[in-house]
Amino acid sequence: MNELLLKYGCNPNQKPSRIFMENGKDLPIEVLSGRPGYINFLDAFNSWQLVKELKIATGMACASSFKHVSPTSAAVGKKLSPELKKACFVDDIEGLDNSPIACAYARARGTDRMSSFGDWIALSDECDEVTAKIISREVSDGVIAPSYSEKALEILKAKRKGAYNIVKIDENYIPEEIERKQVYGITFEQGRNNFKIDADLLTNVVTANKDIPEDKKIDLIISLITLKYTQSNSVCFAYDGQAIGVGAGQQSRIHCTRLAAQKADLWHLRQSEKVLNLQFAEGVGRPDKNNIIDLYLSDDESDLVLGDNVWQKYFAVRPEPFTKEEKKAYLAKITGVSLGSDAFFPFSDNIDRAAKSGVSFVAQPGGSVRDDLVISAADNYGMAMVFTGMRLFHH
């Protein structure tokens, strides 16, 4: 089959819609359940490339959570700490520690749960029963993977009364070297971005601090490969084997950095004792918990959560305030965070903002007329910064 008809395009008025192979070959996918749409497949094919490349670069099982053609996170299959399990709402999942692919998705989904609501999932390895159990109880549009265990398929096919989108992809598929798309009836053509990202890319350390531990190299690789499939401009914070803050599609790089840093800060704060000890009322679902935690951690709206009309509805015990000063003190202890950028930093303000969120390692192309100022700022914070020499724009 070299063509698949879709319900409609990006919007209901955009008909007809289809995906097809111009060379007449068969599509490298099989739809096992559901009816994926136009945006679903944009997410599916971009996210699959991400996890496939990340596995090649790290040798680890990988997963990504995608939303509107950008990743909310990507992660490798490292075991989760008890605190992280609770923050990701997977502390009740049996067998999690024995499934690297489930650990990878638990991390990816749990990083930015607000943005991951209704996500598309990509798995580098076979979807097993443990991973399927996590997926089954989350609001999600679909999943793409090279294979599914019999039990996993049974669980996923029961989701949405059998309408959940399940896509199997040929992991050996190699696309053609030239890619095309149309805008306003005009065809664009370019060579595929086959630029390889791995540890060999991290050798040109331009700061006084040259020390980048192996686990931090993995974090930098995660950030860079995540950026390769994120709508530009973009930066990505990574820590402990996962992307913890993605700032996508901003016209200004400092706005990318601020957005990603804010998400990274929230990821850290979600693992604080004050958040982990929140006592929700019986029957409050995960989406509501996500929203309430987000408000609780907001400097502007935390008072809503503490008000009588909200806390009595969602909590068994009234939560203690988490003051701005307390959050600042908590975040001040964070170090060892990695930051990747898809293009050079034009000003040192990006480094200043990154430092406030615990960044110790940076990877960026370099090439700005102000590189010396950016390097000097990194040196002031004791950061180790790599120039990769390669831009990673994606549109």
| Residue 13 is assigned to a structural domain of this protein | no
Domain boundary among 143, 174, 205: 174
* pLDDT of 28 above 90: yes
| Residue 88 is assigned to a structural domain of this protein | yes
Residue 282 and residue 232 share a domain = no
How far apart (Å, rounded) are the C-alpha atoms in residues 227 and 243?
10
Query: Would you state the pLDDT for residue 310?
Result: 84
Largest CA distance in the chain: 63
| Residue 180 is assigned to a structural domain of this protein | no
Q: How far is CA 350 from CA 3, 113, 235, 375, 386, in A?
A: 45, 25, 10, 11, 15
CA atoms within 13 A on the CB side of 223: 36
Condensed to tens digits (0 to 9), the pLDDT of residues 174-204 reads 999 999 999 999 999 999 999 999 999 999 9
Query: Would you state the pLDDT for residue 187?
Result: 94
Residue 123 and residue 155 share a domain = yes
Condensed to tens digits (0 to 9), the pLDDT of residues 313-330 reads 999 999 999 999 999 999
Residue 102 and residue 47 share a domain = yes
Condensed to tens digits (0 to 9), the pLDDT of residues 356-386 reads 999 999 999 999 999 999 999 999 999 999 9
Residue 204 and residue 94 share a domain = no
What residues are labeled active site?
A: 67-68, 233, 395
**Closest Cα partner for 19 from 232, 175, 135, 153?**
175
Mean pLDDT of the chain: 96
CB-based contacts of 176: which residues, under 8 Å, 6+ apart? 23, 192
| Residue 19 is assigned to a structural domain of this protein | no
Query: Would you state the pLDDT for residue 299?
Result: 87
Q: How far is CA 274 from CA 199, 234, 287, 316, in A?
A: 37, 31, 19, 15
Instruction: Give residue 60's identity as a one-letter amino acid code.
Output: M
| Residue 20 is assigned to a structural domain of this protein | no
Query: Would you state the pLDDT for residue 23?
Result: 85
Condensed to tens digits (0 to 9), the pLDDT of residues 288-298 reads 999 999 999 99
| Residue 326 is assigned to a structural domain of this protein | no
* pLDDT of 45 above 90: yes
Cβ atoms of residues 27 and 2 within 8 Å: yes
Condensed to tens digits (0 to 9), the pLDDT of residues 124-175 reads 999 999 999 999 999 999 999 999 999 999 999 999 999 999 999 999 999 9
Query: Would you state the pLDDT for residue 90?
Result: 97
Condensed to tens digits (0 to 9), the pLDDT of residues 301-315 reads 888 888 888 888 999
Residue 263 and residue 352 share a domain = yes
Query: Would you state the pLDDT for residue 196?
Result: 96
Residue 264 and residue 247 share a domain = yes
Q: Hey, which residues does 113 pair with through a beta bridge?
A: none
Task: Tell me what percent of the residues of the chain surpass a pLDDT of 70.
Answer: 100
Q: 382: helix, coil or strand?
A: coil
Residue 129 and residue 69 share a domain = yes
Query: Would you state the pLDDT for residue 308?
Result: 82
Range of the domain at 317: 273-321
Query: Would you state the pLDDT for residue 309?
Result: 84
Q: Hey, which residues does 169 pair with through a beta bridge?
A: 29
Query: Would you state the pLDDT for residue 300?
Result: 86
Q: What is the mean pLDDT of residues 215-223?
A: 98
Q: What is the mean pLDDT of residues 338-342?
A: 98
Placement of tokens 């559901």 in the chain: 34
Residue 157 and residue 68 share a domain = yes
How far apart (Å, rounded) are the C-alpha atoms in residues 12 and 303?
40
Q: What is the mean pLDDT of residues 110-128?
A: 96
Q: Say what the pTM is.
A: 0.96
pLDDT band at 1 (very low <50, low <70, confident <90, very high): confident
Alpha carbon 108 to its chain centroid, in Å, reads 6
Q: How many domains does the chain have?
A: 3
Residue 292 and residue 335 share a domain = no
Residue 259 and residue 340 share a domain = yes
Check which CATH number belongs to the domain holding 368 and give it. 3.40.140.20
How far apart (Å, rounded) are the C-alpha atoms in residues 282 and 181?
50
Query: Would you state the pLDDT for residue 301?
Result: 86
| Residue 347 is assigned to a structural domain of this protein | yes
Residue 250 and residue 125 share a domain = no
Residue 342 and residue 282 share a domain = no
Determine how β-strand 62-67 pairs with β-strand 70-76. antiparallel
* pLDDT of 91 above 90: yes
| Residue 10 is assigned to a structural domain of this protein | no
